Amino acid sequence: MRKARARSRIPWISAVVMLVAALLGGPALSSPGRAEAAGTGDSLISGQLARDLINPTSLSLKSAQDLGAWVKTQLSLDKLRRAKSLLVQPAPRPRTGTQTAKAAAPAGTSALVLYDTAGPYGHLGELYAMAAANLAGHFGSVTAKPVSTYTAGLVEQHTATVYIGSTYYGGTLPDAVPAAFYQDALATSRPVTWIGDNIWNMANAVGTGAFGQKYGWDPTNSFYDTGGGVGNINQVTYRGQQLTRKVPAGQDGGVLHPALLTGPGYPQVTQLAQAKDGTSGATSPWAIRSANLTYLGEIPFAYVSESDRVIVFEDLLFDALAPATAERHRAFVRLEDISPKADPAQLKAIADYLYSQRIPYGINVIPVYTDPKGAYNDGVAETVTLTQAPAVVNALKYMLARGAVLMNHGYTHQYGNADNPYNGVTGDDFEFFRAHVDASDNVIYDGPVAEDSTVWAQSRVTAGLAAFTAAGLPKPTLWTTPHYAASATDYRVFGQNFSARLERSLYFSGTLGGTADPGRYIGQFFPYAVKDVYGTTVLPENIGNYEPDEFNNHPPRLPADLIASAKANLAVRDGVASFFYHPYYPVAPLQQTIEGMRALGYTFVGPADLTR
């Protein structure tokens, strides 16, 4: 058999992989979609491999570089504050006589997300705010705005408020947080979640005595650096689950160690989550709550994985926005990268298994397969549409009759004749984003394709839907972006054509106000359905996928790994463990994964159930 490059296992995030790990695959055998019988009765899979691995970082390369510089600034200012030599200039007070018109409070459950924009790394605040706003979009309406624009009384107009302190104010950078927010946060009985920096400025603004009497701790004596550095905090325990924390060296700003107050007159501080240092074994609070204030000692969005401490924030939002929510754990599986070149027998075998277990599922179908340079066809170009693959169409109809839900996974799942980043073959390459492989075999995201526009993206969607119709299949109402990468323009087009996206997504700086920056973005996945900042319902995929082969510094991802991630997500009181599986792999690993999740207490549901 000839050797060919394996199908790329593309992450859901960015090119910052240069900082952490290689992303993509190596050699494979034979042609895509084929399998050879092994002696055990399983299949020896060759050709395209299921390499959609999750990278542990979620910032683009430019944003990660900014984060590295931000960390140095934060720790430098933290040392000055510890030495009581950090001068902080308060935010300007409103002019005397100035009155602010009060906006009508949103109907129903509403969240106010406030974020920093000041300083050389101000764009990070918007990225984190989008991540928080997306999650809050699970519960109701969301208003996200720079904290500098806060006006008195806004806290009272929302069910709960989240402030993300990503700019460490002091020195030459005046505090941009209005005094009105500090006062309102103290006075309100509504939930306020404070993440990261500047809680000490609030204490100074309202009085450390008043802060301590209400909240039972002293932020002015709480620091990230305990005197010997930020340590090696690599684990956070929450609701009985041990969650991971993997932050590369030079990118770790630490976790704030709150100085809890004891003695008469101080309220009890509830330690919601505990951080553990992997070197010393020391533990300290990662998240605490007293009165109306919940405080998280770091911003958890920059480096995440399927079992990451971001799960704590994902669940704590229930306390603030839906405290009466009952415990419920659901699971979802979709079959991935089904093209006109798929093996009908393999599709039917998995369909029979899932039907026997009464498990509804999604099928992600690419309506047109193309290999423009003959990478898998001995140098001869090949294109196959669904109408030219009646056996595959019949297999899809067979699946639809047995619990499957049809989903649209791009038009061709590749980009013209370009190596993007591999060979131009459907399923291997990006369709809506450019990428290349660097000298270290890392995939580097280069940004939207040259012709990216509303018209261009719509033309791809329209052509794909027409291909489904021509094959006599129903119109899909759900969409998954090839390799989870597209521009802000593209995501909005997808939202206009489909009731929901089921995927991980990129969110670009400038989205909340201004022009999107294609080089600065954050990637995110969700444990429940959300309404994101693009205005689209996004259904969860938070567990990843089965991959039996090691490649480019990534170990295999086996059923036990998927089950372990599902276990970590039990910390989300009403969460979903959502994963995907390539049907050219044997049924046995899928069966092991499903049985393991069921043993944890998960109930498998269809995609329509995920919005309820």
* pLDDT tens figures, 2-40: 233 334 344 443 333 333 332 223 322 222 332 222 233
* Of the candidates 450, 473, 277, 441, the residue with the CA atom closest to the CA atom of residue 363: 473
- Tell how far CA 21 is from the center of its chain: 18
Contact 204, 175 (CB under 8 A): no
Spatial separation of the C-alpha atoms in residues 186 and 240, rounded to whole Å: 31
Report, as an integer, the average pLDDT of 540-556.
83
Q: What does the pLDDT look like over 573-594, one tens digit per residue? A: 999 999 999 999 999 999 999 9
- Tell how far CA 90 is from the center of its chain: 35
pLDDT at res. 438: 86
161 burial level (CB within 10 Å; 0-12, 13-18, 19+): buried
343: helix, coil or strand? coil
Strand partners, 524: 505
pLDDT at res. 104: 64
* 228 pLDDT above the threshold of 50: yes
Q: Which region among 84-93, 382-391, 449-458, 592-601 has the lowest average model confidence (pLDDT)? A: 84-93
Instruction: Using the structure block, give the residue that is written with the tokens 């720079």.
Output: 146
489 burial level (CB within 10 Å; 0-12, 13-18, 19+): buried
Element (H, E) at 446: strand 443-448
Spatial separation of the C-alpha atoms in residues 523 and 163, rounded to whole Å: 20
Spatial separation of the C-alpha atoms in residues 103 and 105, rounded to whole Å: 6
Q: How far is residue 231 from each of residues 55, 67, 309, measured CA to CA in Å?
A: 23, 18, 17
Give the DSSP letter string of 512-567: TSS---TTSEEEE--SS-EE-TTS-EEE---SEE-B-S-BTTB--B-HHHHHHHHH
- Percentage, residues of the chain above pLDDT 70: 88
Q: What does the pLDDT look like over 31-53, one tens digit per residue? A: 233 222 223 333 322 244 444 54
Could you count the other beta carbons within 10 Å of the beta carbon of residue 567? 20
* Of the candidates 437, 516, 557, the residue with the CA atom closest to the CA atom of residue 130: 516
pLDDT at res. 6: 38
Structure-block tokens of residue 291: 């009165």
Amino acid at 423: N
154: helix, coil or strand? helix
Provide the sign of the torsion angle of the four alpha carbons 409, 413, 415, 421, taken in this order.
positive
Instruction: Using the structure block, give the residue that is written with the tokens 């004891």.
Output: 262
* Of the candidates 229, 206, 209, the residue with the CA atom closest to the CA atom of residue 218: 209
pLDDT at res. 551: 65
* 107 pLDDT above the threshold of 90: no
Q: What does the pLDDT look like over 183-212, one tens digit per residue? A: 999 999 999 999 999 999 999 999 999 999
Q: What does the pLDDT look like over 54-81, one tens digit per residue? A: 344 588 889 999 999 999 999 999 999 9
pLDDT at res. 97: 46
Contact 80, 86 (CB under 8 A): yes
Spatial separation of the C-alpha atoms in residues 574 and 597, rounded to whole Å: 15
Spatial separation of the C-alpha atoms in residues 56 and 60, rounded to whole Å: 12
Bond from prior residue into 372 cis (ω within 30 degrees of 0): no
Structure-block tokens of residue 576: 């979903």
- Percentage, residues of the chain above pLDDT 90: 82
DSSP H stretches of helix in 85-231: 123-136, 179-187, 199-206, 208-215
Structure-block tokens of residue 221: 């004596």
pLDDT at res. 516: 87
Spatial separation of the C-alpha atoms in residues 541 and 67, rounded to whole Å: 26
Structure-block tokens of residue 11: 């992450």
* Of the candidates 382, 563, 408, 376, the residue with the CA atom closest to the CA atom of residue 476: 408
Q: Give Cβ neighbours of residue 459 (< 8 Å, ≥ 6 apart).
A: none
pLDDT at res. 21: 32
Structure-block tokens of residue 255: 């976790």
Q: Give Cβ neighbours of residue 496 (< 8 Å, ≥ 6 apart).
A: none
pLDDT at res. 56: 47
Structure-block tokens of residue 35: 């399998």
